[in-house]
Amino acid sequence: MAPLDKGKGKAGLDAEYLPIQEAPPPPPPLSEQRRKQASRRQTEEQKTDDHDPEDDEPLPQRPSTGKEGQSTQLDANYFAIDLGKTDAIYVYSLSFLRGYDPGSKRRERRVLQLLLDQYPACKSAATDYRERLVSIKQLTEKNLPRTLEVFYHEIGDTPVHGADALKYYVTVSYLKKLELGSLHDYLGGSSSGSQYTAKDETVAALNLLLGRHTNQSTHVSKIGRGRVFDQRTTQPLRAPLRGGLEAAVGFEKSVRIARAGLLLNLNAATSAFYVPLRMDELIKQWTDEACPRNYRENKNAWQVQHLVKLERFLKGLQVRATYAPRRFHSVWGIARASNGSNRPIPDQVMFDLEKKDEHGNAISSESITVFEYFRRKHGIRTATDCLVVDVGSQDRSIFIPANLLDVLPGNFYRHVLLGAQQSTMIQFACRPARIANSPTPNHGLITNSGVPMLGIRAQRPLNGPYDGFGFNVDLHMLRIDGRYLTAPVLQYRQYNAGGPVENRTKILLSDATKHGAWKIHDCALALSAKRHNWSWIEFTKGPPCDEVQRQVFLNAIEDGYKRYCSFDNIEPWDHPDGLSSHILPYPDGKLEEQKKTLQEFLNKFKVNVDFLFVILPEKSIPQYAMLKLVADTLVGIQTTCVVKEPQWEKEEEGTQGQPSTSERGNQTSNQGNNPRGRQQGYQQRSRPGQQHRGRPHQGHPHQGHQHQGRPYRGSPHQGRPHQGSRQGDQQLTIKEQARAYRGKTQIKCKPEVIANIMQKVNVRLRGTNTVLANAKDPKLFTPETMVVGADVTHPGVGSLDKCPSIAAVVCSTYTSFSHYTASLRCQGSKVERIEKFTEMLVERLEYWKAKSGAKSGGKSGAKYPERLVIFRDGVSEGQFQMILKQEWPQIQKACRETYAKAKQQFPKILLMCVLKRHATRFFPRSEDDRDVLGNPKCGLVVDQGVTYKDGYDFYLQSHAVIKGTARPAHYVVLVDELNLAPDIVQRETYQHCFLYGRCNRAIGIHPAARLADRACDRGRKYLQHVFSPENDRQRTFDRATPEDRGAWIQDVHDDLKNEMFFL
């Protein structure tokens, strides 16, 4: 327990500022554990921020606002703040008197909540509940530091101020005064951004002041710096996720300085929380969701792997003991049974109970079970089948049965959700933007729930709790102007069904692409990849794929090549050893054994095949990751994966020549549901002289294409292949049966699926899916421009400690903006800057030069690009200076190492950051400008109102929203050597979002940034065993096995280094 003082209390709490005239009594002696915690806390408080705003690199200024496009009126989720007559904010530091540290974050937060409530002078103050306090009024001008006495009581208890009150002592020290006069001048335009250096500090102080109301509320949970959740909400703002979790809607807020002035950004947010239950009930719900059925049904069948997962699920959970309501604990883990079994229940967990004399000295000890201890100490006969939870620490265990613990409300879930939980969370979190019949549109949530939750209200006193600050916060969203850009015209090739291959162009006008998605059913891809050999392999876990079903898929791929790439007679390559050489049971065992088996298997295809289609037995990330690791880094062959449908069932052979029982009994209803008598199952080709309809195949990309020998579509039981029961019937080959099949397929091969696969295959083999037809004279993305995307991905929850981060740099190839190549590197754990930017960029520049030489017919024509457009993904606003000070010099160094040696003029560079994780949302005011979800239509650009007061940035929503509320991409220019007009940058960036090779849709960010993100994700797959280890032993990457550390470090096989393997 925390050190408590039961000395004399101090009266007179109505004084404006209460100094302690006498020194507080000496604290009780600290245990070794508390002494370590206090020392660690003191070290953290002594750390100072060495960042000096005056040393920041200047950002380029916006040359002008854009004019191009159709204007529109928008509501932005920002609210204007009027500081009134507030002229200064005073900043203080907080520290607990040595020896009186609360010992836990929960108790520390409660102490500082009581400090603000118990002292009237703090009505105009707010705190971060750790080490800072800010106030509109100056607390004192003399005798600093001051020590405050705080009387402690738990939520719901009656405050006590007498001699028996629990007391803590907090020291308040003056730090600085933030003058707001400069901020007023800056917002009024009379001061430049470089002259107001206290911008970040002022915004941080205002965030604390505007968050006081929610932070002081005992029913509000806070996550991070700005997200708050009201634990009293019910449906529709709360939904169960199963497994002991629930989803809740809250809000995230932040103060921003923008062109429209000082604004409060408020957006709806969704997070997962533990359901406040009794601990044993929570464990049961988790077991029902996360454990196999045979373990759920047998309570004695706990295995170590499940106990470790459960321990990870519960660790850090805030709980309260039911037998002692004032005892709060944090879960450390699950107890271990003393007899070595996997049943940590009360009568199997033992510990040494010490007996002490009146002076607290241990005189003896005995081993006792948890069950016996609670029977003796508290008279509780706890259940013998519940788990025992450790609520102590690494140094000292405290064992309590799970049925004697209550989970407190507001426990935030920090781990990865299970598959079903993720689906439920997505369904719940994706709320429409602005729909009249929706119960929870985001626009209504923000204005009707979020604003009142912050304490902003229209009644007098104005703005409620902010009256003491002198603030005025507007109740209505900020109205701004936006513009809709014209969608580009795309060029494909004309598809001639059943006719000869032609190279006539097919133009999709803006009317076809203005909604952000377009159909290509009557198009062939703009430029086919080089002709290549392809084949297939299948991994199995159990029976292999049905032979006919596999052939249905291969036929669809073969037809897709003909349909979209205009390839004739491009059948899959068959291994000389027969069908068995294409099928491999997925290897089990150690990592190195799996890699060796897969490598030997794939090498059989390497010489004769350029591309492999892989059939996986299930949706398994570890299987997919292992395949990509071996194929990309060890063998050097391109692969794409499909998955068998787990629910597919083959029809019984005995029913293929006659109707089934259900068909006999429900023939009328079948005909009603299938008016054309569509055959379900394998069909026989029609005999000569039979008449049939020319209806296109289902699950086949040839829409309307006629095939010789079409099956007869008669009654539900006619035409099925059987063992020659009729004279003249023919036994069909596997390929013919596949062509005739009309039922549900075991592998998805609908026309849209095959179209998507062929687009990926075509781009990865250096083809071009589409080109911009109306971009004949580009100003930004000229033929001499290389587009660069850069990103870094970090280890997440569940990764090994000190697991490396992965950096990726992708670059467009010569004159082509559809094909990108990538360089990958491992780097220091959670290091945001790209440590080897120079090395990776040099690799890509050299490849560009080699391609330009090949295009020009010799080395004499080889040259580096004349300009670079770089999109840096995955950074936040606080990391701009890191990019300018650490990554920008690496980019310049790469240019010196290449251009200087070639005696070529250095390129002009445009460096932009792409921000995705922000809380800015736009809501069109006119119904004509909204989509079906109430979002803006694609092509919206905003470069005023909510953009930076100083700097060059714009918001661009380039995609059409499928679900939820649209989140525009935020582009921030950090280096601008091109000096192009904003209209050019915005228009051509928007147009390139239509050139993403994986689909016929516009995407939300520039393809270079998106591809850098995909390249990083591919690197994560190479290190799947350390990023998401299946073995739950607690290890760090430094202590990992050699095969874990050395599985992959950088790049891929030489044959794929300059290919688009990561798409």
- Report which residue type is found at 137: K
User: Residues 660-674: what's their mean pLDDT?
Assistant: 39
User: Residues 777-789: what's their mean pLDDT?
Assistant: 91
Lowest mean pLDDT among 450-464, 472-486, 922-936: 450-464
Q: Please report the pLDDT score of residue 137 as a whole number.
A: 86
Tokens representing residue 55 in the block: 């040393």
In this structure, the answer to whether residues 563 and 500 fall within a common structural domain is no
Say which residue, 660 or 313, is predicted with more confidence: 313
* Boundary of a domain, candidates 162, 179, 196: 179
Range ranked top by mean pLDDT from 211-220, 263-272, 457-466: 263-272
Report yes or no on 874 lying in a domain: yes
Range ranked top by mean pLDDT from 5-9, 449-453, 482-486: 482-486
In this structure, the answer to whether residues 863 and 998 fall within a common structural domain is yes
Distance of alpha carbon 1046 from alpha carbon 1026, whole angstroms: 11
In this structure, the answer to whether residues 756 and 786 fall within a common structural domain is no
Beta carbons of 1022 and 1048 less than 8 angstroms apart: yes
User: Residues 861-866: what's their mean pLDDT?
Assistant: 87
Lowest mean pLDDT among 256-265, 287-296, 476-485, 988-997: 287-296
Beta carbons of 386 and 346 less than 8 angstroms apart: yes
Q: Please report the pLDDT score of residue 746 as a whole number.
A: 84
Task: Assign residue 1008 the CATH number of its domain.
Answer: 3.30.420.10
Say which residue, 725 or 54, is predicted with more confidence: 54
Q: Please report the pLDDT score of residue 251 as a whole number.
A: 94
**Neighbour count for residue 287 (Cβ, 10 Å):** 19
Report yes or no on 7 lying in a domain: yes
Beta carbons of 686 and 749 less than 8 angstroms apart: no
* Boundary of a domain, candidates 480, 507, 524: 524
Confidence of residue 621 (pLDDT cuts 50, 70, 90): confident
Query: At 170, is the secondary structure helix, strand, or coil?
Result: strand
Q: Please report the pLDDT score of residue 616 as a whole number.
A: 92
Q: Please report the pLDDT score of residue 614 as a whole number.
A: 94
pLDDT of 191 over the 50 cut: no
Say which residue, 459 or 1029, is predicted with more confidence: 1029
Q: Measured in whole angstroms, how far is the alpha carbon of residue 463 from the centre of its chain?
A: 36
In this structure, the answer to whether residues 515 and 545 fall within a common structural domain is no
Domain residue limits at 390: 277-408
pTM of the model: 0.86
Confidence of residue 252 (pLDDT cuts 50, 70, 90): very high
Distance of alpha carbon 553 from alpha carbon 749, whole angstroms: 6
First to last CA, the chain: 55
pLDDT of 1045 over the 70 cut: no
- Arithmetic mean of pLDDT over the chain: 81
In this structure, the answer to whether residues 546 and 519 fall within a common structural domain is no
Report yes or no on 1001 lying in a domain: yes
* Region class of 829: left (phi > 0), else alpha (psi between -120 and 50), else beta: beta
Distance of alpha carbon 1007 from alpha carbon 203, whole angstroms: 34
* Boundary of a domain, candidates 408, 437, 467: 408
Q: Please report the pLDDT score of residue 264 as a whole number.
A: 94
Task: Assign residue 297 the CATH number of its domain.
Answer: 2.170.260.10
Say which residue, 159 or 75, is predicted with more confidence: 75
Task: Assign residue 762 the CATH number of its domain.
Answer: 3.40.50.2300
pLDDT of 468 over the 80 cut: no
Beta carbons of 295 and 302 less than 8 angstroms apart: yes
Q: Please report the pLDDT score of residue 645 as a whole number.
A: 85
Report yes or no on 885 lying in a domain: yes
In this structure, the answer to whether residues 711 and 788 fall within a common structural domain is no
In this structure, the answer to whether residues 790 and 750 fall within a common structural domain is no
In this structure, the answer to whether residues 502 and 577 fall within a common structural domain is no
In this structure, the answer to whether residues 540 and 608 fall within a common structural domain is yes
In this structure, the answer to whether residues 307 and 327 fall within a common structural domain is yes
User: Residues 35-57: what's their mean pLDDT?
Assistant: 53
Say which residue, 570 or 944, is predicted with more confidence: 944
Confidence of residue 339 (pLDDT cuts 50, 70, 90): confident
Q: Please report the pLDDT score of residue 250 as a whole number.
A: 93
User: Residues 862-871: what's their mean pLDDT?
Assistant: 93
Q: Please report the pLDDT score of residue 439 as a whole number.
A: 76
User: Residues 1011-1017: what's their mean pLDDT?
Assistant: 94
**Residue pLDDT, tens place only, 580-602:** 889 998 888 788 888 899 999 99
Report yes or no on 233 lying in a domain: no
Report yes or no on 738 lying in a domain: yes
Pairing status of strand 245-258 against strand 238-242: antiparallel
Give the torsion sign (CA, 377, 382, 386, 391).
negative
Say which residue, 21 or 595, is predicted with more confidence: 595
Report yes or no on 59 lying in a domain: no
Query: At 35, is the secondary structure helix, strand, or coil?
Result: helix
Question: Which residues neighbour 676 within 8 Å (Cβ) at sequence distance 6 or greater?
Answer: 693, 695, 713
In this structure, the answer to whether residues 845 and 716 fall within a common structural domain is no
pLDDT of 53 over the 80 cut: no
Q: Please report the pLDDT score of residue 578 as a whole number.
A: 82
pLDDT of 678 over the 60 cut: no
Say which residue, 2 or 343, is predicted with more confidence: 343
Report yes or no on 460 lying in a domain: no
Total tally of structural domains belonging to the chain: 5
In this structure, the answer to whether residues 829 and 972 fall within a common structural domain is yes
Confidence of residue 51 (pLDDT cuts 50, 70, 90): low
Q: What percent of the chain has pLDDT over 90?
A: 37
